[in-house]
Every structure is written in structure tokens, then in C-alpha cells.
Amino acid sequence: MVKLALMCKSQNFRLNTVCPGSDEYRTGQWVVGKKKRKELIGEKVILTKTRNDPAYMGGEIISFNPLQNGKVEVLFKDDPSLIGNTDAIGQSGWGLRRSVCYVK
């Protein structure tokens, strides 16, 4: 089951250049607390364009890379079976003006 959904309209994910030739991706500029990051390692993440769209990409969370602005990049291993996932649609966890959803 998916535990994290990110509304990534600009599709600003990219291959993880630290591990060239792998199927690891990173997407950045998210606010995720330290405690929550620890809980999410090994869980599934999906990327969506809006709260009501199915996932266009997803995978298993490998780690979080803290940025100087206090936000984080999410590093994940691609899982094509998550394309079209609808776990985050209708979730109350999106909150107002939030692009991060903790799926219950």
C-alpha cells in the first residue's frame, strides 16, 4: 500500500545521478518532518499531477536528502506497477495548499 503521495505537477523528478544506470529517481523540495522520514523508508511513494489524478510514477522510498532550505528530496526505486495507482484520491491527508499527502 502507498504511504506517501506527492503532487508533482511539473514532473520534476530525475534519475539519481549518484547511482547512474539504476532505476532510482529523486524528486525534491518537499516538507517532510524527520520523524515521518524515518517511518517512510521502505514504503511506497507515488507522484500525481493533482489530488484527483492517478499516479503517473511511483516506487519504494530509499532515502530522503535534506536540502539547505529545510525541505527534502525523496529518493525512490521505480516501480512501474504503481502507475495508475489511486490510493491518494479522496484522501483527507492532502490538507489545504499541501502537495504532500500521507496516505492512510
Provide the percentage of residues in the chain whose pLDDT is more than 70.
86
Q: What is the pLDDT of residue 10?
A: 63
Strand (E) or helix (H) holding 26: strand 24-30
Which residue in 21, 101, 102, 30 sits closest to 63, CA to CA?
30
- Residue ranges of domains in the chain: 2-86
* Full-model pTM: 0.88
pLDDT of residue 16: 55
